[in-house]
Amino acid sequence: MSGSACSASAVGREASASEPFSFRTLYRQRQTTPNFEGARLTLRRRVNFQVARFQRLRRHVRVAALPYVLTVDPLNGCNLHCPHCMTGAGKHGHDVTTLPRALYARLLDELAPTLLLVEFGNWGEPLLDRRLPDLIEAASARGLGTIVATHLSVPLDDAQARALVASGLNVLGVALDGARQETYEQYRVGGRLELVVENIARITRAKRRLHSTTPRIVWSYHVFAHNEHEIEEARARAAALGVDFAFSKGFVTGPDWDPEGRFPFIFEARDGEQVEPCSFLWERAVVSADGGVAPCLGAFSPEDDCGRLDGHTFREVWNGARFKEARRFYRAAPESLGSPEPLCAGCPQTVLFGDYRAHLAGGGTTASFAPGLTAHDGWNYFFHRARPRRLRDEPVSAGARRVPVSAPSPAAASLARRMVS
Ligand SMILES: C[S@@+](CC[C@H](N)C(=O)[O-])C[C@H]1O[C@@H](n2cnc3c(N)ncnc32)[C@H](O)[C@@H]1O
Ligand code: SF4
């Protein structure tokens, strides 16, 4: 589950869901449109962004704005077996397939006028799909920023490296969690660190030959207990390769490996920040390789999809019954709506927002709100909700509402790191 595109928790003003739409309030509450690398900021895109933000803060159930970030899996399989990833752990998700070209073209036709960014790679390895450069090129040609999230541990020749550069890709995020093979492979099971490094060098050479400044390559290091000692060595290797380096805390299933919060999660909020409704239900689209539209990056099973694009436009799904139901959870407690089953009902972000509203209603302030849920709880919620493959015929459970799979330690709770992407 990638969070690279839009993880900053924007702090908006507290807004009443019943406040009617007016251009005046829209103007008053406008925010700076994100400047995603490569995105052309047309007037229509800027307006759509403002309306999406506005409708999110007001928790509109039926929306006029379309998402401005699209995450799409060109292919939802992977050749590695990362133990804390649902794909790597062999959970039951969508059938492994590739995104139909016609469906992708139709999706771009519909969303490109308002989109800013396309991120390739959610629960699969995008570079296993050899059509990836073509898919990127189609997005670049429409003035969209593009990001690929890859482990890059796939054989790549010069022609493929060149095609990737020529596609116009803006950012290549390479997940490389170690400076040495024996450390790296503890999480990236089946991965070959030297192959990844070779590929980075190959793509860098292709950039040079094509006189291209893109893609910006980011060595993205997920920190775990087993690899924290190699961060500086990895940073030095990244510098020697001439690529950027970034690290964030890796999620694990079970107890948080770093309860003192020495390392920051990619999704992070601080004490005293306003909690906003989930960004995905108003601002971001997530499409699986089989055309399923998921409510967010954490959704893994087809049963949790909000609709499908074969036979429907994106907007039909976006304003369909399941998305509207999910948005209603931000206006009233899921139990009161008599529908605890969908993914969003028990999601820590929904729970956290409900707690925050109750805190304000009880006379508390944003500054005094101290939630106990963290991004770690979010990862565990999604992971444990997804069923193992062998149980694929059993019904989806209601999830782990309020009870994180591993209760946050007091230290973790007091650090109040929580999931507000
Ligand atoms: C599920 S992966 C799919 C893309 C690609 N296969 C990869 O691993 O980069 C999407 C994103 O989640 C990140 N990711 C995987 N396991 C993670 C973990 N345990 N903690 C934090 N991020 C993780 C990946 O590095 C990547 O940025
Ligand atoms: S490389 Fe990515 S998709 Fe593959 S198992 Fe690891 S995290 Fe999951």
Per-residue pLDDT of 182-237, as tens digits, reads 999 999 999 999 999 999 999 999 999 999 999 999 999 999 999 999 999 999 99
Q: What is the pLDDT of residue 414?
A: 26
Q: What is the pLDDT of residue 381?
A: 92
Task: Among 1, 125, 200, 380, say which to mutate for ligand 1: greatest number of ligand atoms within 8 Å of CB.
Answer: 1
Residue 5 has pLDDT above 70, yes or no: no
Per-residue pLDDT of 361-400, as tens digits, reads 999 999 998 877 888 999 999 998 887 754 433 333 333 2
Mean pLDDT of the chain: 85
Q: What is the pLDDT of residue 274?
A: 87
Residue 410: asked if its preceding bond is cis (omega within 30°), the reply is no
Q: What is the pLDDT of residue 180?
A: 98
82 lines ligand 2 (CB under 6 A): yes
Position 194, amino acid:
E
Position 153, amino acid:
S
Per-residue pLDDT of 233-250, as tens digits, reads 999 999 999 999 999 999
Q: What is the pLDDT of residue 92?
A: 80
Q: What is the pLDDT of residue 30?
A: 73
Q: Alpha carbon of 302 to those of 100, 122, 220, 294, 395: distances in Å?
A: 17, 14, 29, 8, 12
Q: Which of 29-33, 42-46, 355-359 is most confident? A: 42-46
Rounded to the nearest 5 percent, the helix, strand and coil shares of the chain are 35, 10, 55
Per-residue pLDDT of 272-294, as tens digits, reads 788 999 999 999 999 999 999 99
pLDDT above 70: percentage of residues in the chain: 82
Q: What is the pLDDT of residue 385?
A: 85
Nearest atom in ligand 1 to 125's CA = 6
β-bridge partners, 118:
70, 146
Q: What is the pLDDT of residue 403?
A: 27
123 lines ligand 1 (CB under 6 A): yes
Q: What is the pLDDT of residue 270?
A: 62
Which tokens hold the place of 27?
């103007």
Q: What is the pLDDT of residue 273?
A: 82
With contact defined as beta carbons under 8 Å apart, do 57 and 29 qualify? yes
Nearest CA to ligand 2 atom 6: 82
β-bridge partners, 216:
171
Angle, CA 338 vertex, CA 334 and CA 341 arms, to 5° = 70
Q: If pLDDT is split at 50, 70 and 90, which confidence band does 417 have?
A: very low
Per-residue pLDDT of 286-343, as tens digits, reads 999 999 999 999 999 999 999 999 999 999 999 999 999 999 999 887 666 665 568 8
Position 402, amino acid:
R
Nearest CA to ligand 2 atom 5: 88
Q: What is the pLDDT of residue 370?
A: 84
Higher-scoring residue by pLDDT: 3, 155:
155
What 3-state DSSP class applies to 119?
strand
Q: What is the pLDDT of residue 346?
A: 87
Residue 16 has pLDDT above 70, yes or no: no
78 lines ligand 2 (CB under 6 A): yes
Angle, CA 6 vertex, CA 101 and CA 348 arms, to 5° = 105
Q: If pLDDT is split at 50, 70 and 90, which confidence band does 26 have?
A: low
Q: Starting from the edge strand earliest in sequence, which strands make up the sheet with 292-294, in order?
A: 244-249, 216-223, 171-175, 145-150, 117-120, 69-72, 284-287, 292-294, 307-308
Higher-scoring residue by pLDDT: 82, 23:
82
pLDDT above 90: percentage of residues in the chain: 68
Task: Among 125, 148, 186, 253, say which to mutate for ligand 2: greatest number of ligand atoms within 8 Å of CB.
Answer: 125
Q: If pLDDT is split at 50, 70 and 90, which confidence band does 20 have?
A: low
Nearest CA to ligand 1 atom 14: 1
91-105 per-residue burial string, b: 16 or more CB within 10 A, e: under 16: bbbbeeebbeeebbe
Q: Measured between alpha carbons, how far is 153 from 88 in angstroms, rounded to an integer?
A: 14
Q: What is the pLDDT of residue 415?
A: 22
- Classify residue 38 as exposed, middle or buried by CB count within 10 Å of its CB (0-12, 13-18, 19+): buried
How far does residue 175's CA lie from ligand 2's centre (Å)?
A: 9
Q: What is the pLDDT of residue 23?
A: 65
292 lines ligand 2 (CB under 6 A): no
In the 8-state DSSP scheme, what is residue 160?
Answer: H
Q: How many helices (H) and strands (E) does the chain have?
A: 15, 9
Residue 143 has pLDDT above 60, yes or no: yes
